[in-house]
Amino acid sequence: MRALLFDPYCGASGDMILGALIDLGADLEYVRSAVESVGCRLEVNERRFDHIRAIRVKVISDKSFRSLGGAIDILKASALTSRALERALRILDIMASAESKVHGVDRENARFHEMGSLDALADIAGSCAAMESLDVKRILSIAPSVGGGITDTSHGMLPVPAPATLEILRSHRIPWRGGPVAHELLTPTGAAILAASVDTFLDHHPEIVTERVGYGAGSREIGMPNLLRAILGEIPHHMQHDRVVQIETNVDDVTGEILGSLIDMLMKEGALDVTVVPAVMKKGRSGSVISIISRENDARKLSAVLMRETGSLGVRVFPALHRLIAERRIESVEVMGRSVPVKIGSIGGEIISVKPEHDVCRRIAEELNIPVKDIIRIASEKGWRIAGRKID
């Protein structure tokens, strides 16, 4: 499977992402037309950092805007295709939501701390055009480095990561690390582009057969090569992979009702899966083994919920388990005038699973007073037909 891997060991900004994608071989004319259609001019130059060649892009504009509505209008009138425009608007929405949350204002009045001019908007449009032209099936990224210290913004002096950047990382559950220098390395625009584009964030390089490598240069001198590396290649096994944590505890004094509510509570708090297995404890007592699969950054929170709700005095944590998962996407099918989400799983383009959302099927069955199995059957049949038409 053709994949794009970002390696933001020195953070990421809009211009660094755009430069790296151009260096990878993105269609420069399409990128240039996208940038020019939002009222900017694009300069593309080569730079060298300790003998490493990189692409430095510079967006030139004397126009400015501040409102979300103005930015949306500019993007909708741009040369982006519908696919690239959808991603660009999603990036803008992520930035507006973060600024709104941080500053306590409504989204329309959110003041973008990087957007005194059209530069950031042009970086967004250009990056979306570039990613579309590369035509990859998956986009991956190593957890970005954010830098450290204090940065000067239109909102004044702010800690690194800047509040808007940190809110994007938080709201999209993006893992990150500090350093390696005391500068702002990950900007709100860079974080938003990654949040809207990356399918999976990793803490290490995946198995990938490299086709091309691109370097995008940052504008600041930071005492080390200020570069974003992007890798284009093939992922050989056609499966996503990530790292999870397994949390376990044994209980022998918890009722079935409490276990049922505990499962619901853990899933709402972010658990990926929860299982309860009957077991025989010491002294022949009957009990249960509760097992939780969790993202690494949710492990402490879920452990606390587990201990609080069961009264357990301790839990076992098995860190850094590698999980291989099939590619998944959600399609919608119509059943008796109602929309049913269907999860489609595949490996290397081969469909292996089509499952309608059970809760939705049950609700429709109750509304129409027909067996839920009939709704599931109809949705499954339609899901398989859609899946067959859309195999890559």
Say if residue 95 is in the same domain as residue 188. yes
Show which of 238, 256, 272 is a domain's final residue. 238
Say if residue 139 is in the same domain as residue 282. no
What local confidence, expressed as pLDDT, does residue 117 receive? Answer: 59
Question: Among the residues of 107-253, which ranges form H helices?
Answer: 119-134, 163-171, 188-197
What local confidence, expressed as pLDDT, does residue 389 receive? Answer: 55
Per the structure, the count of domains in the chain is 3
What local confidence, expressed as pLDDT, does residue 310 receive? Answer: 95
What local confidence, expressed as pLDDT, does residue 114 receive? Answer: 53
What local confidence, expressed as pLDDT, does residue 206 receive? Answer: 87
Say if residue 231 is in the same domain as residue 341. no
What's the chain's average pLDDT? 90
Say if residue 131 is in the same domain as residue 107. yes
Give me the percent of the chain exceeding a pLDDT of 70: 93
Whether residue 252 is predicted with pLDDT greater than 80 in this model: the reply is yes
The pairing of strands 273-280 and 209-217 is unpaired
Say if residue 80 is in the same domain as residue 164. yes
- DSSP assignment of 235-262 equals -TT--EEEEEEEEEEEESS--HHHHHHH
The C-alpha atoms of residue 251 and residue 35 are separated, in whole angstroms, by 60
**Identity (one letter) of the amino acid at 202?**
L
Task: Please indicate whether residue 68 or residue 313 has the higher confidence score (pLDDT).
Answer: 313
Say if residue 120 is in the same domain as residue 55. yes
**What CATH number is attached to the domain comprising 349?**
3.10.20.300
Return the minimum-mean-pLDDT range out of 67-71, 106-110, 122-126, 294-298.
Answer: 106-110
Give the largest Cα separation in the chain, rounded: 78
pLDDT band of 320, cuts 50, 70, 90 = low
What local confidence, expressed as pLDDT, does residue 141 receive? Answer: 96
Q: What is the pLDDT of residues 349-365, one digit of tens each?
A: 788 899 999 999 999 99
Rg (alpha carbons) of the chain, rounded to whole number: 24
Residues in contact with 351: Cβ distance below 8 Å, sequence separation at least 6, in sequence order? 344, 345, 384, 387, 388, 391
Say if residue 45 is in the same domain as residue 148. yes
Mean pLDDT to the nearest integer, 256-266? 95
Check: CB of residue 324 under 8 Å from CB of residue 354: no
What local confidence, expressed as pLDDT, does residue 123 receive? Answer: 95
**What CATH number is attached to the domain comprising 303?**
3.30.70.1380
Say if residue 213 is in the same domain as residue 260. no
The C-alpha atoms of residue 164 and residue 374 are separated, in whole angstroms, by 47
Show which of 238, 263, 285 is a domain's final residue. 238
Say if residue 122 is in the same domain as residue 260. no
Say if residue 264 is in the same domain as residue 201. no
Say if residue 65 is in the same domain as residue 192. yes
Say if residue 274 is in the same domain as residue 137. no
Domain that holds residue 303: 241-324
Show which of 324, 349, 368 is a domain's final residue. 324
